[in-house]
Amino acid sequence: MRTSNVGYGMSRHSLLARHGASTIRSLAATGEQEPPWICRLGHSVICASIKGGAILEQMVVRKTVCLKRLGGHRRGEERAGRFFANKKVTAAKIVEGWSDRTSAACAGRHVLAIDDTTEVKFPTTAQRRRGLGPVKKGNAYGVLVHAMIAVDATTNACVGLVGGDVWTRQGLVTEHHRDRPFEDRESHRWLAAAERAREVLRPAAMITVVSDREGDIYPKWASLPQTGVHLLTRAMVDRRLVGGGTLFAAAEEYVVAGRRQINLPARQPDRAKRTAVVELRYGSVEICRPRDEQDRTLAKTVRLWLVDVCEVNPPADVEPLHWRLVTTHEIVDPAKAWQVVGWYQARWIIEQLFRVMKSQGLQLEDSQIATGDRLVKLAAAATKAACIDMQLVQERDGKDQLPASNVFTEPEIETLEALCPTLEGNTVRQQNLHPIASLARAAWVIARLGGWNCYYKPPGPITMRRGMEQFYPIHRGRQLEMMLKREVRIP
């Protein structure tokens, strides 16, 4: 076997964690190279070589994107650098692997396909832009990540990634967006992600694509909805309505249908967690195709439902909450309207994904990789690693009943099951009562390896990280032992 194909910073035997002993033995015997689309944690197309799987593993374990820490030593650092420099490894291929196991995990569920865009700012100077385009308001440089996650509409469990895009801008665009074809605009990503959801989430019982204000584009309203696929977006455009008037004015005419408290999570750097009292109004609307819409084949009108959520008596020092939510779901009563509001509130989950990528986890913005194209690939890999980390923490109590195969390979699940009895104690609280092959059962084992004693507060991200650091060497040792036993021949 050619050692150049072995994951960075890892021995030849660490390949067992991805192939199994029998596969390794047959490859060694035939001199074949590893299959080009095999990778770590069972996500088969996240990278163009076996190295990419090891990189993903180390991102999850070590909570970092620093190549020096990922590699573990100088040789490993160089291998990681060569992976991201490889022209055969593209961001598009990495993004394609995001949804590798999401489809099966969504079967039979009502899935919220939540998408958003985050700007990842990297340190640059006027003399060293690192090949990056402008972000923020043009006063910083970095990459943009548009990601879509699948969330169970009933439990708010993150089931996995659906798709998206990662890119850096090629300078400032001076031409007005109305003068450019829709396919050439950045706003096209919202339609592309929604179409991807329709394909990846086909086994789901129902799909609701949830977007913030940037996703309020007419081509999506006019072309995407079909049986089993719905849209829910916070309105940005005060659209013209059939019969006269505008969308925002129509909401003011609706009667108040209810009042309740809703919880608003903290948002760095300037919004603390708080509770808001809001009034609810709703009604049906029929929006008109914009006069400047280039695609005249789109429907002239689209029938939608508007849910208006407005804060009552807000504190003097905060911006009042006011959501105008537009959806293809039919709103027949206040209960349905409040349900739609709850689905929109699930957007905080994708904001948490971005925080794990950046400030609260992988520290993506601290990367010192020199070139823009490599940073784009790094951001794509970090998005997947952040999602895995988030799934492990959320499933620690087992309420979402996700399978372990969402995160771990079959050999890894076998190792987790073998470890389980050795980590259980004498009390009921020290027993792993979660179903076999469930992600909750796997998370329990990882937490115990990380030092959790089954009492006091639930295990958090740091405990999970420590557990993963313990688990992978144990798994590789077990796989090596199994391989050596198979190799024994009695004369």
Domain check: are 20 and 82 in the same one? yes
350 and 214 inside one domain? yes
Total domains, the chain: 3
Q: Are residues 149 and 238 in the same domain?
A: yes
Q: What is the CATH number of the domain that holds 167?
A: 3.90.350.10
Is 315 a member of any domain?
no
Q: 64 and 9, same structural domain?
A: yes
Q: What is the mean pLDDT of residues 166-175?
A: 82
37 and 134 assigned to the same domain: no
- Return mean pLDDT, the chain: 83
Same domain, 247 and 360: yes
Stretch 70-85: mean pLDDT: 72
Residue 212 lies inside a defined structural domain of this protein: yes
Contact status, residue 398 vs residue 438, Cβ threshold 8 Å: yes
Q: How confident is the model at residue 70 (pLDDT cuts 50, 70, 90)?
A: low
- The torsion region of residue 340 among left (phi > 0), alpha (psi -120 to 50) and beta comes to alpha
Residue 85 shares a structural domain with residue 127: no
Same structural domain, 231 and 197: yes
Least confident of 36-50, 264-278, 362-376, 475-489: 36-50
197 falls within a domain: yes
Residue 390's beta-bridge partner residues? Answer: none
How many Å apart are CA 389 and CA 346, to the nearest integer? 18
Which is it for strands 322-327 and 301-311: parallel, antiparallel or unpaired? antiparallel
> Do 154 and 296 reside in the same domain of the chain?
yes
Regarding whether 124 and 20 lie in a shared domain, the answer is no
Token pair, residue 60, equals 């999850």
pLDDT digits (tens, 9 = 90+) for 385-432: 889 888 888 888 887 888 898 888 899 999 999 999 999 999 999 999
Contacts of 270 (CB under 8 A, 6+ apart): none
Identify whether 13 is part of a domain: yes
The residue segments making up the domain with residue 7 are 3-89
**Signed CA dihedral, 366, 372, 373, 376: sign only:** positive
- Residue 235's pLDDT is what? 97
Whether residue 347 is contained in a domain is answered as: yes
144 and 12 inside one domain: no
Q: Is the model more confident about 67 or about 48?
A: 67
Cis omega (within 30 of 0) on the bond before 269? yes
Same-domain pairing of 141 and 25: no
Q: Confirm whether 273 is domain-assigned.
A: no
Which of 51, 68, 89 is the endpoint of a domain?
Answer: 89
Q: Which of 25, 54, 89 is the last residue of a domain?
A: 89
End of a domain among 316, 350, 366?
A: 366
Q: Is residue 390 in some structural domain?
A: no
Tens digits of residue pLDDT in 425-461? 999 999 999 999 999 999 999 999 989 999 988 888 7
pLDDT for the residue numbered 430: 94
Kindly state whether residue 375 falls inside one of the protein's structural domains.
no
